[in-house]
Structure 1
Amino acid sequence: MSTSQVEPETMERQRPAHAPADHTSVAKPKVGVVLANLGTPDATDYWSMRRYLSEFLSDKRVVDYPSWKWQPLLQLVILSRRPFKSGEAYRSIWNSEKNESPLLTITREQTRKMAEALEARHGDRVRVDFCMRYGNPSTDSVLRRLQAEGCERILFFPLYPQYASPTTATANDQAFRTLMRLKWQPAIRTVPAYFEHSAYLEALASSVREAYAAAETPPEVLVASYHGVPKRFLTEGDPYHCQCQKTTRLLRERLGWPEGGIHTAFQSQFGPEEWVGPPTVDHVAELARQGKKHIAVVSPAFSSDCVETLEEINEEIRDSFLAAGGERFTYVPCLNDRDDHIAALVAIAENELAGWL
């Protein structure tokens, strides 16, 4: 069970070994696992979107321009307009039943399933929870709650198969900021990039096979679309672009397809500088102009469907392909809470928990 479902009063407490009889009882020592995802606005209205976007776009890992140059532009120009457009995008995919974003719904379900799997193996020694880098539940609140519940060791698990400074690194940064403010820090480990893990690759390949089997006719091309980063990140030491290219190759080999069977492209570009490419929205249009009538798009860098997949890929990028002459577009959903994906995440977590459990 996720720690967010456990009331502090019900947590098992005990007097520390060798402590005097009048020593205050403390929570029984446990190991925590925290799944960390990107984040979500609390709602789709202007002010909710503005708060979320301000936190996201003020992160120096995301936009590393000098504050004196970037913040006036962000606060006075970009955030006066962008919350309206982003709110519209979120409304098109919003989980109206739960009144939350799909990313929050899916991450909660991933956490529940991982908790069940880990607790079945290790009992109540393990607590599994999730946090968001931007928005709620915050990284700080979750780590503090786990510590209060007796988690003296915590595995922090950014849900990004490929490492990138604006994703993995900033999630870890936020966890470390909380540690900097704690009098009693738990021991902490972070999960590295896992795009080469066999179970992850098999789950990804299975999702492609299933999407192709469900299609009336097989797509002619599969496009692996990754979130973009500025091109200068490559020369500054970020391995993300290389890991994305390798993910595509490993996926192709797992599927048994020939070279050229999967194209790599990058989405979500903004700003004036050059980004890694080709841009997905342009690449799919070019495929249509080349005579491709049916393509599929998969998102190997996203562990959960979100606005970048459900709205950007399955709406904007789909429209770009169809407007250029394409006829059929197949979106391969993210791995989300598929059983094989959860099994992969559990295997990765247990490997990183070696010696703790």
Structure 2
Amino acid sequence: MDTCPPRIGILLVNLGTPQAPTPQAVRSYLSEFLSDPRVVELPRALWWLILNGFVLRFRPAKSAAKYAAIWAPEGSPLQIWSTKQAKLLKGWLGEILAEPVRLELAMRYGKPSMAEGVANLVKAGCDRLLLVPLYPQYAASTTASVVDELGRILASMRNQPALRTIHDFHDDPGYIAALAQTVREQWSLHGRGDHLLMSFHGAPQVTHERGDPYYRQCLATGKLLAAELGLATGQYTIAFQSRFGPAKWLQPYTDKTLQALGQQKTGKLYVICPGFVADCLETLEEIAMEGKKTFLAAGGHEFRYIPCLNDHPRLIEFLGKHVSRELTGWLTAQTPE
């Protein structure tokens, strides 16, 4: 089997990360990220002035300090976990699939780039490409941006590979079961909590009003996870973090919710981030560090952050089965469920 060239290529894509926790590296990363019209939906001329006249002058140093607080000796947590996920998923698929496939990890912003990933797959002989954005919930600012970038890459190719794209997996039973397993594992270690806060990345309210499915998919994920865990309505809260700028964002806000739960003297609070498959700045610094401070300072008693799925076996199994289903018809033989 190893002597046969792979026809199928899998491009696993996450958001991206600076290459170092320094102002210069963060500035380079933010410049690419915040220049994406899918991320900031303002008139280009106006946003260019704001981005270059204010954001990129003052934000990199502040963000670099935050990255430094969570940076590991091996590098960025997001990079570390994404690399492990790619390696484990490749191994899982190698054991299950009836023919070889080629898998490449890429980042929408930063390195390794999507262009590099596609080039490696095509060079290896892949004429069929499955795009796997690692975003459980679909948003124009995340999944659609990945699809846009792939389109730009393929636009320069005369002989393009056949293409399939995973849209989202916000309500997939395998994903919900994997999330629930991580909660139960924490309960087993530290005792069942008094409340579970599910914090999703925020988005401007206007994106929901324009038809973006992200908000309702986040609510669906949260309600399915609560049902899987047997939680009643008053035992959990769904909230949204990481808002930026003066515009109204999806509510309730995570920081305000943490403050309110602290003021209510909540005994033991667990917090999970079901919109992230790998720990990163938004989960480790914003929630596990700053969120904890907010909750305890407001009067809360005990704060427990539940790590993202990262390299959890249930995540790798879910991704493997999900990818296998998406490859139906491309494989020469059916693979077992």
The bucket for the TM-score relative to the shorter chain is: over 0.9
CA distance in 2, matches of 1:120, 1:101: 29
- Partner deviation per Cα, 1:261-296 (whole Å, 9 max, x = no partner): 220000000111100111101101101111213211
CA distance in 2, matches of 1:344, 1:236: 31
Matched AA of 1:306: C
1:141 aligns with 2:110: no
Contact 2:272/2:305 (CA < 8 Å) preserved in 1?
yes
Q: Which residue of 2 is the match for residue 174 of structure 1? A: 149
1:286 aligns with 2:260: yes
Q: Which residue of 1 is the match for residue 65 of structure 2? A: 88
- Partner deviation per Cα, 1:108-128 (whole Å, 9 max, x = no partner): 100001101111123662011
Unaligned runs of 5+ in 1: 1-10, 14-27
CA distance in 2, matches of 1:29, 1:132: 22
Matched AA of 2:166: V
Contact 1:31/1:153 (CA < 8 Å) preserved in 2?
yes
Q: Which residue of 2 is the match for residue 48 of structure 1? A: 25
Give, in angstroms, the shift of residue 12 of structure 1: 6.1
Q: Which residue of 2 is the match for residue 119 of structure 1? A: 94
Give, in angstroms, the shift of residue 260 of structure 1: 2.6
Matched AA of 1:50: R
Tell me, what secondary structure is at the counterpart of 1:181?
A: coil
- Partner deviation per Cα, 1:132-152 (whole Å, 9 max, x = no partner): 000000001110111011010
Tell me, what secondary structure is at the counterpart of 2:200?
A: strand
Give, in angstroms, the shift of residue 41 of structure 1: 0.6
Which of 43, 46, 49 lines up with 1:66 in the alignment?
Answer: 43
Q: Normalization by structure 2: what TM-score?
A: 0.95
CA distance in 2, matches of 1:181, 1:124: 29
CA distance in 1, matches of 2:6, 2:288: 45
Report how many aligned residue pairs link the two structures: 330
Q: Which residue of 2 is the match for residue 252 of structure 1? A: 226
CA distance in 2, matches of 1:29, 1:326: 54
Mapping of 1:1-357 within 5 angstroms? 28-96=5-73, 98=74, 100-122=75-97, 125-215=100-190, 217-357=191-331
- Partner deviation per Cα, 1:211-268 (whole Å, 9 max, x = no partner): 11111x4321100000000111111010100011111110011112222322000000
Tell me, what secondary structure is at the counterpart of 2:53?
A: helix
CA distance in 2, matches of 1:92, 1:128: 31
Contact 2:129/2:161 (CA < 8 Å) preserved in 1?
yes
CA distance in 2, matches of 1:346, 1:177: 27
- Partner deviation per Cα, 1:285-332 (whole Å, 9 max, x = no partner): 101111213211000000100000011000111111011011210001
Q: Report the aligned-residue RMSD.
A: 1.3
Q: Which entry has the higher C-alpha Rg, 1 or 2? A: 1
Unaligned runs of 5+ in 2: 332-337
- Partner deviation per Cα, 1:17-43 (whole Å, 9 max, x = no partner): xxxxxxxxxxx3520111100001111
Matched residues, percent identical? Answer: 41
CA distance in 1, matches of 2:253, 2:284: 17
- Partner deviation per Cα, 1:33-87 (whole Å, 9 max, x = no partner): 1110000111111211100001111111110111110111111211111110111
CA distance in 1, matches of 2:232, 2:129: 42
Tell me, what secondary structure is at the counterpart of 1:133?
A: strand
Contact 1:303/1:334 (CA < 8 Å) preserved in 2?
yes
Q: Normalization by structure 1: what TM-score?
A: 0.90
CA distance in 2, matches of 1:177, 1:68: 22
Matched AA of 1:239: P
- Partner deviation per Cα, 1:192-224 (whole Å, 9 max, x = no partner): 211111111111001011111111x43211000
CA distance in 2, matches of 1:12, 1:341: 29
Matched AA of 2:139: A
Deviant stretches of 4+, over 4 Å: none
Matched AA of 1:339: P
Contact 1:293/1:325 (CA < 8 Å) preserved in 2?
no
